[in-house]
């Protein structure tokens, strides 16, 4: 019955079979931690544990979905009853059940960061504060930090030290913004992401019977990526697991890279102190990367003092050593990487999706985008504007949000006059003032009080009431129709569909296509969920709690460009880690303490361990900052990699400069500085630019013996094409048969 356990190695099996009591699984990169979590849950079910009593927490909905599907394939549909999902989605589910205890309705809205930031911006404007001094993103970030540290708005106001800090930083009104933000969210029946954790803690702390209820439900708790949990998540996990203590956490301290989001590495480092009776398991075999990559990554992370002991190893092949590329400018770095990708595609018959370019900050993507476009190499930049953040999509979602929560202030203000209904800002301000006097939301003021208002003329009243009638008429269908039918009704009655359909500009065409894609996504949501789970409310929660990785797809055959933070959890055959310069990586902002530097090193470790076969590192001598070239210095992280895992020479690109006598072309058509020391025995000299090239020489015929810098000695099997498209199929003695585009192959005929 448990034949699926045969797929585990001895370490994975040992961790899987341990069912009771607290346990921690330290899982190195690529060691199969997800498999252990998946099989552990399946094993618990085969041992008679009710899936309703199992709570599994992840950091992406995508991971939860894939795990659940795998468990279903092992033990059957009973696994659909598992409590499995992200922290935010599971706690939102609990809060909807228990909402009345903390003053909310079960249909509360979940504000995403965009909604929250817009509300903060509006409050700053209403308080007539200097928007440069009170930058809304910084203010919202501080509010988020306060919530995650359990400092309420009222506690903040009573804390003289915090108030003094705001005064010194010239933001003495922060406490007023914080107070109004909390009040406005509550009045709107809305919670932001931080509230989902804060309110869950509040619920468990304030209602012992509720805590006891969920402790008895969640007899087994499993937590993925435990090193990424923040203090609020940590407290919830401790509370829920306190009774049975059947808690299993899985993670890797070497991949803790989210302190800027509040993640606390001490949660995983101190687990055995929190649970003295806990058992420790280590997953140390890497199945992803070559020996050179695994050992290079180990040599980096050894420099961190704050870490858990483990020895990651692999049975994979040794693989290629890591290349270090020194370029003159960021523009040349982009051209070098694009040329290298182009050559590898040609010579190795690889796909675009096999390559990833990883950088420390989003701003670095430009030079690589420019270079890839010029090479006609398709690419995708991750971390850009999410589909659900596009204006036309947010417009539709705002209508849906208002349908289920009439108090949703952000949704109301977004759509009351869109499409245009002749309801201006002056009217909206009057409504807000009157609504506050009557202690109701703007929507409910219009619905219940506007007819008798002396501040509004009859024409305006009619326009407002027409809007209310439209919303109320659609609301009558909420119980009997699924979210797909409701959305079509919204598009029709609101006029949104016709507005974009009649816009023949490029923007209008794109927007109508996005709306059609939204409908496709909603249809897919309806068809892939039970009938009880296809309401507007469940769909909106699904969208609101989507994570960055959930919205990304690896189906497109494109080169991936992304920050290293976004790359966590992904893997690629070829990885380019770029911008390895002091004050860029490691970041100048994170060099103030050892803990900050060690997190930067963990980030580099994560970047290295994304690669399966080959890593190229690059840094530049001069990088543009605000339009001016600034000298750069090689990152200390490069020097921390042991020499035995690096190639013998550092490639130095100088595409736009004159040749010096000791420079030659390398295989990607850029120059490198020949090393002074004696070259390795397998080194093959490449023809200098002033020597006659034999790439298109008619003397190259089937049967020729040739030398290639990377693949070594081989025999020409066939030749096809002509001119720049001429290709040769060559059978190499040690690397098998390759088909090479001759203009990039730099072959040398030896017989």
Residues labelled catalytic: 33-34, 224-225, 255, 610
Region of residue 139 (phi > 0: left; psi between -120 and 50: alpha; otherwise: beta): alpha
Asked if 322 and 575 touch (Cβ cutoff 8 Å), the reply is no
Which is it for strands 559-563 and 355-359: parallel, antiparallel or unpaired? Answer: parallel
Tokens 């994304």 correspond to 610
Give the Cα separation of 636 and 586 in Å (integer). 8
Asked if 609 and 297 touch (Cβ cutoff 8 Å), the reply is yes
For residue 622, give the H/E element and its range. Answer: strand 611-625
What would the 3-class secondary structure string for 564-580 be? HHHHCCCCEEEEEECCC
Tokens standing for 431?
A: 């409504």
Give the Cα separation of 408 and 416 in Å (integer). 12
Region of residue 150 (phi > 0: left; psi between -120 and 50: alpha; otherwise: beta): left
What would the 3-class secondary structure string for 379-427 be? EEECCCCCHHHCHHHHHHHHHHHHHHCCCCHHHHHHHCCCCCCCCCHHH
Give the Cα separation of 396 and 497 in Å (integer). 10
- Identify which of 102, 14, 656 has the alpha carbon closest to the alpha carbon of residue 331: 656
Give the Cα separation of 717 and 701 in Å (integer). 9
- Counting Cα atoms < 13 Å in the Cβ hemisphere of 739 gives 10
DSSP state of 150: T
What would the 3-class secondary structure string for 113-142 be? HHHHHHHHHHHHHHCCCCCCCCCHHHHHHH
């Amino acid at each position: 019955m448990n034949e699926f356990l045969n797929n585990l190695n001895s370490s994975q099996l040992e961790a899987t079979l341990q069912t009771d009591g607290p346990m921690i699984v330290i899982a190195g990169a690529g060691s199969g931690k997800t498999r252990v979590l998946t099989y552990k849950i399946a094993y618990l079910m085969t041992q008679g544990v009710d899936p309703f009593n199992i709570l599994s927490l992840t950091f992406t909905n995508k991971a939860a979905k894939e795990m659940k599907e795998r468990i279903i394939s092992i033990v059957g549909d009973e696994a659909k009853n598992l409590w499995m999902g992200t922290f935010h989605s599971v706690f939102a589910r609990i809060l909807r059940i228990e909402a009345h205890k903390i003053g909310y309705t079960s249909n509360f809205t979940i504000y995403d960061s965009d909604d929250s930031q817009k509300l903060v911006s509006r409050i700053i404007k209403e308080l007539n504060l200097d928007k440069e001094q009170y930058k809304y993103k910084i203010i919202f970030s501080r509010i988020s930090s306060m919530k995650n540290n359990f400092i309420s708005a009222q506690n903040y106001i009573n804390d003289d030290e915090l108030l003094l800090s705001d005064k010194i930083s010239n933001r003495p009104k922060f406490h007023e913004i914080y107070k109004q933000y909390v009040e406005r969210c509550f009045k709107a029946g809305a919670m932001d992401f931080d509230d989902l954790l804060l309110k869950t803690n509040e619920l468990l702390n304030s209602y012992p019977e509720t805590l006891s209820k969920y402790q008895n439900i969640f007899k087994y708790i499993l937590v993925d990526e435990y090193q990424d949990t923040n203090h609020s998540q940590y407290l919830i996990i401790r509370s829920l697991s306190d009774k049975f203590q059947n808690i299993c956490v899985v993670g890797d301290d070497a991949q803790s890279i989210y302190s800027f989001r509040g993640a606390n590495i001490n949660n995983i480092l101190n687990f055995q102190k929190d649970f003295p009776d806990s058992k420790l398991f280590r997953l140390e075999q890497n199945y992803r990367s070559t020996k050179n990559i695994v050992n290079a990554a180990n040599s980096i992370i050894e420099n961190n003092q704050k870490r858990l002991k483990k020895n990651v190893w692999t049975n994979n092949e040794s693989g290629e050593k890591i290349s270090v590329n020194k370029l003159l400018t960021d523009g040349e770095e982009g051209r070098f990487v694009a040329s290298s990708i182009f050559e590898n595609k040609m010579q190795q018959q690889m796909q675009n999706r096999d390559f990833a370019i990883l950088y420390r900050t989003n701003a670095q993507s430009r030079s690589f985008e420019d270079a890839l476009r010029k090479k006609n190499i398709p690419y995708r930049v991750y971390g850009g504007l999410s589909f659900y953040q596009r204006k036309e999509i947010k417009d539709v979602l705002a209508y849906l949000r208002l349908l289920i929560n009439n108090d949703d202030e952000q949704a109301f203000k977004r759509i009351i006059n869109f499409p245009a209904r002749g309801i201006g800002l002056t009217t909206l301000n009057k409504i807000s003032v009157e609504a506050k006097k009557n202690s109701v939301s703007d929507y409910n003021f219009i619905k219940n009080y506007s007819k008798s208002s002396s501040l509004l003329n009859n024409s305006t009243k009619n326009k407002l009431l027409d809007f209310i009638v439209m919303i109320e008429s659609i609301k009558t269908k909420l119980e009997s129709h699924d979210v797909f039918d409701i959305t079509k009704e919204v598009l029709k009655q609101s006029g949104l569909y016709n507005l974009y359909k009649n816009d023949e500009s490029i923007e209008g065409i794109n927007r109508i296509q996005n709306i059609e894609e939204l409908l496709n996504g909603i249809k897919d949501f309806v068809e892939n969920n039970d009938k009880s789970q296809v309401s507007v409310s469940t769909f909106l929660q699904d969208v609101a709690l989507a994570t960055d990785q959930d919205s990304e797809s690896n189906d497109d055959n494109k080169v991936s460009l992304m920050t290293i933070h976004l790359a966590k959890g992904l893997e690629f055959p070829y990885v380019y880690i770029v911008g390895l310069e002091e004050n860029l990586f490691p970041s100048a902002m994170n060099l103030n303490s050892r803990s900050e530097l060690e997190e930067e090193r963990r980030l580099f470790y994560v970047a290295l361990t994304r690669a399966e076969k080959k890593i190229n590192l690059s840094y530049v001598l001069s990088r543009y900052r605000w339009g001016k070239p600034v000298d750069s210095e090689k990152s200390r992280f490069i020097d921390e990699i042991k020499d035995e895992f690096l190639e013998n020479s550092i490639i130095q690109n100088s595409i736009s400069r004159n040749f010096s006598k000791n420079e030659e072309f390398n295989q990607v058509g850029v120059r490198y500085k020949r090393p002074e020391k004696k070259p390795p025995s397998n080194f093959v000299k490449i023809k200098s630019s002033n020597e006659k090239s034999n790439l298109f020489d008619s003397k190259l015929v089937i049967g020729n013996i040739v030398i290639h810098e990377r693949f070594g000695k081989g025999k020409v099997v066939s030749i096809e094409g002509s001119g720049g498209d001429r290709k040769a199929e060559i059978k190499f003695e040690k690397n098998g048969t390759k088909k090479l585009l001759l203009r990039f192959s730099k072959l040398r005929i030896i017989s």
